[in-house]
A and B are shown apart, each in its own frame.
Chain A
């Protein structure tokens, strides 16, 4: 079982990071993550940079009405990535917490900290009315007696 502090810190971090996408705080958020990942080596650091840029581009190119959903999914992805990072490098906790605080301070509407295990996919069923066409035949009726 992963330590509770890792769950809480990664939750706050992923919330702050994804909340910063497409905001002024993005550069701070992005650079902080890249800085943290220097511990993982140059290769993984470069890879994390690619992912950050790609995910940011995804949010920016998503329509306004879709953005909340995309952010929620990205937050789950980043929480796992950051939990993995903190589990591997628990000594980064202080720098990590500082980074979270900086990003949150720069956000206009910061998400709640220490967010719990958010589950990305909960399905709400909306009853959508579509049309299925049944061809149904009824008997043809003969209604005329001899006319001629």
Chain B
């Protein structure tokens, strides 16, 4: 199983994962600008205003929040009575108070209440503005702005966009007439319009809006830096997000660099006011640098953010612990990207611990964050091989999102789908394939619905889930369906990449890689090669422009290309592709061993296989030994994470040594592999029994080669027994393996002179292959031919001449046909009496 990459985007993060290893989920902190207008009520609510100000100083303080809410509710009550008696005078005040109540309710996590309050404020102000536009249009625009935020929080993206569009339209008119007064408001709403357009999937529109906001703030800051530099920094922060969404990684970095630079200056002059913002932009800088593959610098930026927020949270936990948790989450991701998995886990656990505390006090406000953090915890634990614990964390995240989505589907179904998708990956890592499929299908179902309503926003997620669905289906042996799902994902990504190459070509390449795997499993080797070549071509282009970000992916795709080329017999080219992968990974691992040593070991393993196939056995052994050595080192530090890989490489070492005639050493290596797999399978049968069965099969072969025939038979029988069980539960997934192990069992029995039993085993093998080949000739006819050859040999020993000849000549005929198609050797066939 192999290799991976992770990629950050602002809406989602995409983890690329080793086959059979658990994927790394990540998320990032990117800004989503919320822009509540706090209007200051007057006279009778004066006390309330002061308390409200206090509340804003400390928005996370539950006590202050409750007090603030009580005060504002009292003010509304008073204004309602006054407005009933004298609407002309007091309706504006009532609207202002409702506006503020909405902000406070939102901060408390009461989304429905916040929306109700702002809807009422907008309704009142609409009436007031209709009667007296000059006086009340600015207030209406402010409330529309806030209504947009609340609608968005409630999942009503279309409504949110409509409200902010109206706010921008009003403020554009106001600013045209009176720029000095209204340009700042226009810039603020443009900022929010950008966020809403992005949420709706309109990336180009989002970028246009934020570009305009930045341009306005630049103009304002040039004239009045003290007032507008903070705003310019904020909009640059968001411009960075939008540029990144559009695939403009360099532009995104330039924008966040400028934001950080401004905020550093502001924070130096006034730390209390600007350090929180600086931390935010540093967090985002970390995300951007990481997206460009500059992992060490990314970590530095995130560490700075954590350091600031640790200080702020120590002084005022209620206000700054939520931000600290976010930064800790990001720190975990950055450390994980550098392969520092144990430290990454510590950071993520700290984030979870904070969110757990916050969510206990205020579930409505912090449960979504807790769920996000638990998702990350699952990924980190999984990366450390602690798969059972990873599942528990991921299940907890799903449970929270399920509850949230039941209450507010529009707001939380996207998150629920994400967490279900992750759950599928976790379950799959534990070998619980049927359950993994159910979770992934549930994610696909939700995303299909979401994408039908809003393709621009949700098609990328749908494509990701379809890609995973393909993996799950294939794991269950439902290969044709796996191919269909993956083809659908490729089709979506192709369409998206045609419009926005920078944004979606990486995803397209990833899905093409998967397509290559499923086509290959179905025996459609030429098409599999084409898909993989397309993936390599894309990654080559991306890596040429941005080596740090895409060379890991390029290496992965070259590894796959090696496998595809070898499958069509182009071994020399396979070797070249894998050598290129090894070269890249050697370089990457030299700079960052923790992150890239596992990948390097994987490529070296493949290199060993191709060199051996070309008869360069000594070099093959060297490559395989190097892989074993790396995995041994990794498994010493992190047994749960790397023992499976170590076992796999030991298994390969056995093959290499045997090829050099070093049978005793081959046996020792394979015994070590079996021992590891036995231990792993005892704890996690579903996850490791297939590997155990494979290594037992090899063990049987080496024992047989050493003349230890009885022991060989025992090992092979154990292998058959496991495969029989697995194939009963999942015929499509394991019947090919069962057939292979039965072939070997026949050989072992024949060697011990137990010819009748040998014949039975071989007949069973032929029967299975015949069935498989009827459905998928390209994939299984070579195996059928081989088992028929064995059957012929056994029958002929038993003197059943006619049947022996029939089986042998059928094998020869199949081989000749395959040879004519260029996919196998060609013993001629067809001698009959």
B827 touches A77 (CB 8 A): yes
Q: Is A109 an interface residue (CB 8 A)?
A: no
Q: Is A120 an interface residue (CB 8 A)?
A: yes
User: What are the residues of chain A within 8 A of B833 when measuring CB–CB?
Assistant: 40, 44, 84, 88
CB within 8 Å of B: which A1-21 residues: 1-2, 7
B379 touches A136 (CB 8 A): yes
User: What are the residues of chain B within 8 A of A79 when measuring CB–CB?
Assistant: 793, 796
Q: Is A105 an interface residue (CB 8 A)?
A: no
Q: How far is the CA of A64 from the CA of B799 in the complex (A)?
A: 35
Q: Is B188 an interface residue (CB 8 A)?
A: yes
**CB contact under 8 A between A124 and B808, given known A62-B825, A119-B750:** no
Q: Is A144 an interface residue (CB 8 A)?
A: yes
Q: How far is the CA of A40 from the CA of B832 in the complex (A)?
A: 11
A131 touches B29 (CB 8 A): no
User: What are the residues of chain B within 8 A of A120 when measuring CB–CB?
Assistant: 786, 789-790, 793
User: What are the residues of chain B within 8 A of A40 when measuring CB–CB?
Assistant: 833
- Give min CB distance, A3 to chain B, whole Å: 8
B799 touches A138 (CB 8 A): no
The secondary-structure label for the interface of chain B is helix
Q: Is A50 an interface residue (CB 8 A)?
A: yes
User: What are the residues of chain B within 8 A of A65 when measuring CB–CB?
Assistant: 571, 613-615
A136 touches B15 (CB 8 A): yes
Q: How far is the CA of A50 from the CA of B812 in the complex (A)?
A: 13
Q: How far is the CA of A85 from the CA of B786 in the complex (A)?
A: 22
User: What are the residues of chain A within 8 A of B10 when measuring CB–CB?
Assistant: 140
Q: Is A81 an interface residue (CB 8 A)?
A: yes
B-facing mask of A19-33, CB < 8 A → 1, else 0? 000000000000000
Within 8 Å by CB of A2, from B12, B461, B798, lies B798
Within 8 Å by CB of B826, from A58, A63, A84, lies A58
A123 touches B750 (CB 8 A): no
Q: How far is the CA of A97 from the CA of B507 in the complex (A)?
A: 65
- Give min CB distance, B17 to chain A, whole Å: 4
Q: How far is the CA of A126 from the CA of B624 in the complex (A)?
A: 11
- Give min CB distance, B3 to chain A, whole Å: 5
Q: For this complex, into which size category does the number of interface residues on chain A fall? A: 35 or more
Residue of A nearest to B605 (CB): A129
Residue of A nearest to B284 (CB): A143
User: What are the residues of chain B within 8 A of A73 when measuring CB–CB?
Assistant: 786, 789, 815, 825, 827
Q: Is B391 an interface residue (CB 8 A)?
A: no
Q: Is B101 an interface residue (CB 8 A)?
A: no
Q: Is B290 an interface residue (CB 8 A)?
A: no
Q: Is B360 an interface residue (CB 8 A)?
A: no
B19 touches A137 (CB 8 A): no
Residue of B nearest to A76 (CB): B789
Residue of A nearest to B20 (CB): A132
A51 touches B421 (CB 8 A): no
Q: How far is the CA of A120 from the CA of B19 in the complex (A)?
A: 31
User: What are the residues of chain A within 8 A of B329 when measuring CB–CB?
Assistant: 141
User: What are the residues of chain B within 8 A of A122 when measuring CB–CB?
Assistant: 701, 743-744, 747
Within 8 Å by CB of B510, from A7, A69, A129, A133, lies A133
User: What are the residues of chain A within 8 A of B16 when measuring CB–CB?
Assistant: 131, 133-135
Of B172-180, B232-240, B247-255, the one contacting chain A is: B232-240
Q: Is B293 an interface residue (CB 8 A)?
A: no
- Give min CB distance, B254 to chain A, whole Å: 19
User: What are the residues of chain B within 8 A of A117 when measuring CB–CB?
Assistant: 750-751, 793-794, 797
Q: How far is the CA of A64 from the CA of B613 in the complex (A)?
A: 10
**CB contact under 8 A between A147 and B827, given known A76-B792, A136-B379, A136-B422:** no
**CB contact under 8 A between A133 and B789, given known A80-B804, A143-B283:** no
A-facing mask of B740-780, CB < 8 A → 1, else 0? 10011011001100010000000000000000000000000
**CB contact under 8 A between A70 and B825, given known A80-B804, A118-B793:** yes
CB within 8 Å of A: which B795-813 residues: 796-799, 801, 804-805, 808, 811-812
User: What are the residues of chain A within 8 A of B815 when measuring CB–CB?
Assistant: 73
A80 touches B30 (CB 8 A): no
Q: How far is the CA of A7 from the CA of B606 in the complex (A)?
A: 40
A84 touches B801 (CB 8 A): yes
A125 touches B825 (CB 8 A): no
CB within 8 Å of B: which A63-116 residues: 63-66, 69-70, 73-74, 76-77, 79-81, 83-84, 87-88, 116
Question: Which of A125, A129, A144 has the largest number of chain B CB atoms within 10 A?
Answer: A129
- Give min CB distance, A128 to chain B, whole Å: 6
Residue of B nearest to A87 (CB): B801
Q: How far is the CA of A54 from the CA of B819 in the complex (A)?
A: 12
Q: Is B196 an interface residue (CB 8 A)?
A: no
User: What are the residues of chain B within 8 A of A118 when measuring CB–CB?
Assistant: 793
13 A-B residue pairs with CB within 8 Å: A47-B830, A70-B826, A76-B793, A77-B827, A119-B747, A119-B793, A129-B602, A131-B4, A131-B513, A131-B560, A132-B471, A138-B27, A139-B375
A: residues with CB less than 8 A from B are: 1-2, 7, 40, 44, 47-48, 50-51, 54-55, 58, 62-66, 69-70, 73-74, 76-77, 79-81, 83-84, 87-88, 116-148
Given contact pairs A40-B833, A143-B323, A148-B187, a sample of 18 additional A-B residue pairs in the complex whose CB atoms are under 8 Å apart: A2-B798, A51-B831, A76-B792, A83-B797, A121-B743, A121-B783, A124-B701, A129-B2, A130-B563, A134-B15, A136-B379, A137-B25, A138-B28, A139-B372, A141-B29, A141-B329, A141-B372, A144-B31
A-B interface, 10 closest residue pairs, ranked by CB to CB distance from nearest: A147-B234, A135-B464, A54-B828, A121-B786, A138-B27, A144-B31, A139-B372, A143-B29, A127-B648, A119-B747
